[in-house]
Amino acid sequence: MSSDTETLENFTSQDYKYGFTVDIEADELPTGLNEEIIRALSAKKDEPEFMLEWRLKAYKKWLTMKSPEWAFLEIEPIDYQGLKYYSAPKQKAELKSLDEVDPKLLETYERLGIPLEEQKRLAGVAVDAVFDSVSIATTYKEELHKAGVIFCSISEAVREHPELVKKYLGSVVPYTDNYFATLNSAVFSDGTFVYVPKGVQCPLELSTYFRINAQNTGQFERTLIIADEGSSVSYLEGCTAPMRDENQLHAAVVELVALEGSQIKYSTIQNWYPGDKSGKGGIYNFVTKRGVAEENAKISWTQVETGSAITWKYPSCILKGDNSVGEFYSVAITNNKQQADTGTKMIHIGKNTKSTIISKGISAGTAQNSYRGLVKVLRGADNARNFSQCDSMLMGDKCGAHTFPYIEVDNPTAQVEHEATTSKIGEDQLFYCNQRGISTEDAIGMIVHGFCKEVLNELPMEFALEARQLLAISLEGSVG
Amino acid sequence: MMLKISNLQARIEEKEIIKGLNLEIKPGETHAIMGVNGSGKSTLANVLGGREEYEVTGGSVEFLGKDLLEMDPEERAREGLFLAFQYPVELPGVLISYFLRTAYNAIREHRGEAAVQVREFNKLIQEKSKLLQLSPELLKRSVNEGFSGGEKKRNEIFQMAILEPKLCILDETDSGLDIDALQIVSEGVNTLKQEDPERSFLLITHYQRLLNYIVPDYVHVMIDGKIVKSGGKELALELEEKGYSAFQSSSAA
């Protein structure tokens, strides 16, 4: 087992240490952040005036803000002037074939069942011209077009559908929202835009994989999904394979607009580089995700978080309309020196609103895993109901699990339930499995999967299996 | 030879528990080790199973001609050693059928046999569950989760029936069982004995009661980490009559 961990860690650290050297690309803006940079960024993207103004307002606001310190995280100060805010297309040193890729990395891809061409993309190998990714994407686009669904990059949406962007961008997460969201509003690089028209059930599972140029969304990703009245859509972001990424700071914003009677299901699998065993390197993931549900609408967040050195993320639902429903299903795994402070906010405004929170936190190594959740029932939210269940699992005795539930109820007819458990994956359990002939790796996978079942069941089918294997790999060598 | 233990010494956390134990089990034989709490009989089961907390400080154990102590616990299991636990652990969220199929296929893979698919395996499960009178409902549940003491023990023998081991070690399987459950468990074990005449059993128990149902070929009395007396099945009765103290003195002598 320990040799497995070493291999796994070796390959991740190696990759990031010297595997990929970045060619300096001509189309870049200088390092640092100021008004000029933002103007230049907006100009390069050929954005309409309203977009630039919005970015500048956000930037001015950001200058007056301070990085939040309330989370249960230890964060090294970030040098915002030391970052580059525009570099497109972000050129990474392309490898010529899979032969040049670290075999350990390939082995992991194989174990995760990643198709060969996808492996190339992830490892940064030039994809063959023969590969029909374009044709897949084209077929895909045609089908969506027929249904009237708009699915494109946010940059494209800003240019092609300014009326929708203008109406909804910042309507859920205003540019003044918080330090990281405000920074994102000023400098967002790219991201996804989805619009599903009235009454349309989106015919396909939308995933970033099928969006051309999805690879290089950069570190300030912006996503906006609008489900018009009576429509429904399921969107999956991320990938179970270790992503090659040199950016240390990721500050994304996701806004979901669920209009009357619509449904949005948003699933995330996040497996960014967590840093090496000593905590060096690794990605800081500071994300603001929020949705507004109008009358009879439903928003469902499902997340499997196994990567990043630091995760700061609280996908939230504002249950504005009567009878609206919010759900949050989360698995967060932290190993070695990883830190996660994640949870959700359910804000009940409308009558008969319902929310469900199922959070599973798994800690191994010396990692810290915190659940932080707010359930707020406003005065007018008659008969609001919430059920929260937060379970933590510890592996070994050097890690930590913490639960910070905040419950604010302003309506006497509301029903709010909170359950929390902490358990330990025991030597006993592993020995029991071993004694039946089951390897430790499979045993951990099995036990962790059993623990997370309610959440994994919420994932789209094709990702459930990958997620299961990912859990096992993320925790390898953490016991015994 | 199925199992050959020579001068075995083992400790846990610096405390010597097994102090030079010898035991030989031939294929098809059923042995019972009897002893009071703290005599080291459960330690022996755990050492044979390969539990890490137990440190072997001397002696050797051969299992079907191979060095058992060199193997990982999963390797021992795949080679055909099965330990029915005194306290079976719960695995919340892990379905019994999935758990057992994973184990079954790991053992098959070890033997160079093809993996068995879900449908075929479920048939096998249905068949064997009748033997232990386990309700089909129970099989749809998570491993041992919310099981009564008796259900847990029956589930151990059920797993034994599925995995078809060569050597079965039953660590105080009779403890906490009422008479009905004890009969069901014993019938299960006896069926497994008949099913394969080469299969060997090592019963570890405190009381003679179990041996009324599963008749051993040999009985060993274990005191203070050693076998102090061995004999036929009548030794168990003698022990029941005279008590362990009668043998205590012989160990001191």
Collapsed DSSP state (helix, strand, coil) of residue A207:
strand
Which tops the pLDDT comparison, B248 or A327?
A327
pLDDT confidence of residue A18? 25
Query: What pLDDT, in 10s, does the model give residues B167-180?
Result: 999 999 988 888 88
Where does the pLDDT of residue A24 fall: very low under 50, low under 70, confident under 90, or very high at 90 and above? very low
Kind of pairing between the strands at A222-227 and A150-153: unpaired
pLDDT confidence of residue A321? 96
Which tops the pLDDT comparison, A242 or A99?
A99
Chain A residues whose CB is inside 8 A of the B74 CB are 434-435, 437-440
Chain B interface, best mutation among A3, A432, A447, by max B CB count within 10 A:
A432
Nearest to A450 among B74, B78, B93 (CB): B93
User: What residue of B is the nearest CA neighbor of A440?
Assistant: B74
Query: What pLDDT, in 10s, does the model give residues A392-448?
Result: 988 878 888 888 889 999 999 999 999 988 888 878 899 999 999 999 888 888 888
pLDDT confidence of residue B68? 97
Angstrom distance (rounded) from CA A50 to CA A323 = 35
With a cut of 80, say whether residue B250 has pLDDT above it: no
Q: Which two tokens stand for residue A452?
A: 């997370």
Buried b (16+ CB within 10 A) or exposed e, B201-233: bbbbbbebebbebbebebbbbbbbbbbbbeeeb
The string of DSSP codes covering A273-314 is ----TTS-S--EEEEEEEEEE-TT-EEEEEEEE---SEEEE-
CA distances (Å), A111 to each of A106, A115, A362, A463, A470, in order?
Answer: 9, 11, 22, 14, 9
Chain A interface, best mutation among B51, B90, B102, B152, by max A CB count within 10 A:
B102
With a cut of 80, say whether residue B95 has pLDDT above it: yes
pLDDT confidence of residue A70? 76
Q: Which helix (H) or strand (E) holds A153?
A: strand A150-153
Where does the pLDDT of residue A240 fall: very low under 50, low under 70, confident under 90, or very high at 90 and above? low
With a cut of 50, say whether residue A347 has pLDDT above it: yes
Per-state percent for chain B, helix, strand, coil, to nearest 5: 40, 30, 30
The CATH-assigned architecture of domain B84-198 is: 3-Layer(aba) Sandwich (3.40)
Which residue ranges does chain B devote to CATH 3.40.50.300?
84-198
Residues A247, A22 contacting (CB under 8 angstroms): no
CA distance A448 to chain B (A): 9
Q: How many CA atoms lie within 13 A of B61 on its CB side?
A: 24
With a cut of 60, say whether residue A372 has pLDDT above it: yes
Q: What is the mean pLDDT of residues A372-400?
A: 91
CA distances (Å), A157 to each of A51, A160, A263, in order?
Answer: 11, 5, 22
**Cβ contacts from A onto B, under 8 A:** 78
Q: Which residues of A touch B (CB under 8 A)?
A: 423, 426-429, 431-440, 442, 446-447, 449-453, 480
Nearest to B102 among A440, A446, A453 (CB): A446
Where does the pLDDT of residue B159 fall: very low under 50, low under 70, confident under 90, or very high at 90 and above? very high
With a cut of 50, say whether residue A381 has pLDDT above it: yes
Residues A338, A275 contacting (CB under 8 angstroms): yes
- In this structure, the dihedral spanned by the alpha carbons of residues A379, A381, A383 and A388, taken in order and rounded to 10 degrees, is -100
Task: Test B74 with A446 for CB contact under 8 angstroms.
Answer: no
pLDDT confidence of residue A1? 37
SS3 annotation, A425-445: CCHHHHHHHHCCCCCHHHHHH
Q: Is the ipTM of this complex over 0.85?
A: yes
Nearest to A438 among B50, B51, B102 (CB): B102
Chain B residues whose CB is inside 8 A of the A439 CB are 74, 106
pLDDT confidence of residue B32? 96
CA distance B87 to chain A (A): 10
Q: Which residue in A223, A93, A203, A90 sits closest to A139, CA to CA? A: A203
Nearest to A435 among B49, B91, B142 (CB): B49
With a cut of 70, say whether residue A353 has pLDDT above it: yes
The β-bridge partners of B15 are B12
Chain A residues whose CB is inside 8 A of the B106 CB are 436-439, 442
With a cut of 90, say whether residue A309 has pLDDT above it: no
Residues A95, A97, A102: CA angle, nearest 5 degrees? 75
Tokens 């009748």, residue? B130
The string of DSSP codes covering A190-201 is B-EEEEE-TT-B
Q: What is the mean pLDDT of residues B90-111?
A: 93
Angstrom distance (rounded) from CA A190 to CA A253 = 11
Which tops the pLDDT comparison, A200 or A466?
A200
Which tops the pLDDT comparison, A428 or A296?
A296
Q: Which two tokens stand for residue A57?
A: 């307002």
How much of chain B, in percent, has pLDDT values that exceed 90?
70
Collapsed DSSP state (helix, strand, coil) of residue A98:
helix
Which amino acid, residue B171? D
Collapsed DSSP state (helix, strand, coil) of residue B34:
strand
Nearest to A451 among B74, B93, B100 (CB): B93
